[in-house]
Chains A and B, each alone.
Chain A
Amino acid sequence: MRWINRRPRRPAAIILALVPFVIVIGAYVIASDIRLAENPSDRLTPAPSQIIDTFVMLATEPDRRTGRIPLWSDTWASLQRLLAGVAIAAGIGLVFGLLIGLLPFARAGLAPFAAAISLVPPLALLPILFIVFGLGETAKIVLIVVGIGPFLIRDLSQRVLEIPSELLVKAQTLGASTWQIALRVALPQVLPRLVQAVRLSLGPAWLFLIAAEAIAAEGGLGYRIFLVRRYLAMDIILSYVVWITFLAFLLDYALKSLSRAAFAWFHGGEDL
């Protein structure tokens, strides 16, 4: 049989999915063992047991200076920024996507502009944002909005344009106005695509969040990582990296489940 037609059965598929994880973790454990055997005070590759101890400590013991438990206060601070930025960007993406996708006049006026600003590297704007909005929360949220907003606008306008013209014509013959078509045909059709686009832009959103926190913040996951970098505290950094990855996975999973529950008509088999 050709390889394109061979499919793993369920147990084999699970084992195959685990293999890369096992290899990477195994390689780390071995490397860490070798290095620690040579030099027990080595800080670059802490033993897994030490990473777990550190993680438990970060999640349970209050910081001596602030009195708060670092992992939770950092997570809370970061998630607030991330969710605010992503929500605002999604709202902007949806509104402008509908405008550009549905109205030829809005398309003529806005599409080239949206294409142009999506080429501006957001991180290059970060200093400007700090100057304009100060070092507080606003600049970090705006960075996320500036970072993923243009992508969302372009993606959503494309999705609106892809709505079969038959449906828009049909709605007109049923007496719908432009506004009613936007509300009752285009909006429900692109909402599941909005969730897809937001899922894709969560990665960049984390990137911009951590970059902003690394430069100026009093708390947050990115702040902590870059703070302890000075002491070469690899155990803390690795704990946080795993934790951030887990949070990102949870967010993605939540959006996927939400989409499946809310837009059953959209999920006819295919899925990523």
Chain B
Amino acid sequence: MTAVSVHDVWKSYDGRPVLERLNIEVEEGAFCAIVGASGCGKSTFLRLLLAQELPSRGEIRIADADPATEPQADRGIVFQRYSVFPHLTVRDNLIFAAEIAASRTLGRTWGRTRRNLRDEAEATLERVGLGHAAKLCPSALSGGMQQRLAIAQALTKKPKVLLLDEPFGALDPGTRATMHEFLLELWRETAMTIFMVTHDIKEAFKLATRILAFDKVRDDPTDPGAYGATITYDLPLDDKTEKDAFNGPN
């Protein structure tokens, strides 16, 4: 089944195209890595997928539904920074979505309901290795822990599509490798479609089932902003041998 279909999408700011002629169909359960030079519009593409911004032209459909006009719960997002609520404890960050759903008027719960939600969150926290940090504020967590929390939080609504914008960009190689395992595990369990922006080509080959490279094909030397970037390579990595060849034996 097609999870995401992008049809002739353009995005311009002040009449200057940043992205142009984007056309892709992504299968449900795919893991797409998005690579490309700085400033070529990768984050912009994620914002379009999220419906945080709307395309200047064309349309994006998720699971064949009508194009969304604002962010909604069928797509989750993890930013490089500011992804979790700094004023809530780790545990309360995780139950935020459930509290919102449980109480329309106040957006929060008390007493037994709250205790139940927190108990449920306990299991998830253990799962993502934050059990000991349940009552801490996010600012007290390391970068890797914060990103684990951000991913766990984004998954609380069971989104069809998970968008990750350089989620591990600020982590050391060791932590990053652990995070890769963590993410792959979650991905296999949930069968969601993932889009991940990364500058690390090795990371892209290691994780993804498909690599989308963004670049400008048309260039006007006298006016660098005249044309936008598009998807120049769309490389499926379904073939496991291809990935292993790149990753090398280890």
Question: Could you list which residues of chain A lie within 8 angstroms of chain B, going by C-beta atoms?
Answer: 164, 166-167, 169-177, 179-180, 183-185, 188-189, 263-266, 268
Looking at the assembled complex, report how far the CB atom of A165 sits from the nearest CB atom of chain B, in whole angstroms: 8
B107 with A180: CB separation less than 8 A = yes
State in angstroms the CA–CA spacing of A166 and B153 once bound together: 14
Q: What are the residues of chain B within 8 A of A266 when measuring CB–CB?
A: 87
B75 with A184: CB separation less than 8 A = no
Which of B71, B85, B96, B107 meets A169, CB within 8 Å? B71
Q: What are the residues of chain A within 8 A of B72 when measuring CB–CB?
A: 172-173, 175
B106 with A183: CB separation less than 8 A = yes
13 residue pairs of the A-B complex, CB under 8 angstroms, read A164-B81, A166-B83, A167-B82, A170-B77, A170-B153, A171-B96, A173-B75, A175-B72, A175-B100, A183-B106, A184-B99, A184-B100, A184-B107
Q: What are the residues of chain A within 8 A of B105 when measuring CB–CB?
A: 179
A177 with B104: CB separation less than 8 A = yes
Which of B50, B71, B82, B100 meets A180, CB within 8 Å? B100
Looking at the assembled complex, report how far the CB atom of B22 sits from the nearest CB atom of chain A, in whole angstroms: 21
Which of A167, A175, A180, A265 meets B139, CB within 8 Å? A265
A interface: dominant SS: helix
Q: B79-113: which have CB < 8 Å to A?
A: 79, 81-87, 96-97, 99-101, 104-108
B interface: dominant SS: loop
State in angstroms the CA–CA spacing of A265 and B101 once bound together: 25
B97 with A174: CB separation less than 8 A = yes
B159 with A173: CB separation less than 8 A = yes
Q: B2-19: which have CB < 8 Å to A?
A: none
Which of B82, B86, B100 meets A265, CB within 8 Å? B86
A169 with B50: CB separation less than 8 A = yes
Q: What are the residues of chain A within 8 A of B139 when measuring CB–CB?
A: 265, 268
Whether a CB of chain A sits under 8 angstroms from the CB of B36 is: no
A167 with B85: CB separation less than 8 A = yes
Q: What are the residues of chain B within 8 A of A170 when measuring CB–CB?
A: 77, 79, 83-85, 153-154
Whether a CB of chain A sits under 8 angstroms from the CB of B134 is: no
Whether a CB of chain A sits under 8 angstroms from the CB of B55 is: no
State in angstroms the CA–CA spacing of A185 and B105 once bound together: 14
A173 with B157: CB separation less than 8 A = yes
From known contacts A180-B100, A183-B106, A265-B139, infer whether A173 and B85 are also in contact, taking CB-CB under 8 Å: no
Q: What are the residues of chain A within 8 A of B82 when measuring CB–CB?
A: 164, 166-167
Whether a CB of chain A sits under 8 angstroms from the CB of B73 is: yes
Whether a CB of chain A sits under 8 angstroms from the CB of B156 is: yes
Q: What are the residues of chain A within 8 A of B85 when measuring CB–CB?
A: 167, 170-171, 185
State in angstroms the CA–CA spacing of A173 and B158 once bound together: 11
B87 with A166: CB separation less than 8 A = no
Identify which of A164, A264, A265, A266 gathers the most chain B CB atoms within 10 Å of its CB. Answer: A265
State in angstroms the CA–CA spacing of A166 and B79 once bound together: 7
Whether a CB of chain A sits under 8 angstroms from the CB of B70 is: yes
Looking at the assembled complex, report how far the CB atom of A127 sits from the nearest CB atom of chain B, in whole angstroms: 44
State in angstroms the CA–CA spacing of A176 and B107 once bound together: 8
Nearest first, the 9 closest Cβ-Cβ pairs linking A and B are: A180-B107, A172-B71, A164-B82, A166-B82, A174-B97, A265-B137, A175-B73, A184-B107, A188-B87
Identity of the chain B residue whose Cβ is nearest the Cβ of A168 in the assembled complex: B71
Q: What are the residues of chain A within 8 A of B153 when measuring CB–CB?
A: 170, 174
Identify which of A183, A263, A264 gathers the most chain B CB atoms within 10 Å of its CB. Answer: A183
State in angstroms the CA–CA spacing of A185 and B86 once bound together: 10
State in angstroms the CA–CA spacing of A133 and B242 once bound together: 82
B137 with A174: CB separation less than 8 A = no
State in angstroms the CA–CA spacing of A176 and B50 once bound together: 15
Looking at the assembled complex, report how far the CB atom of A227 sits from the nearest CB atom of chain B, in whole angstroms: 48
Q: B43-65: which have CB < 8 Å to A?
A: 50, 52
Identify which of B100, B153, B157, B159 gathers the most chain A CB atoms within 10 Å of its CB. Answer: B100
State in angstroms the CA–CA spacing of A175 and B107 once bound together: 10
Whether a CB of chain A sits under 8 angstroms from the CB of B76 is: yes
Q: What are the residues of chain B within 8 A of A174 when measuring CB–CB?
A: 73, 96-97, 100, 153, 156-157
B77 with A265: CB separation less than 8 A = no
Q: What are the residues of chain B within 8 A of A176 when measuring CB–CB?
A: 100, 107
Q: What are the residues of chain A within 8 A of B101 when measuring CB–CB?
A: 175
From known contacts A166-B83, A184-B100, A265-B87, infer whether A173 and B154 are also in contact, taking CB-CB under 8 Å: yes
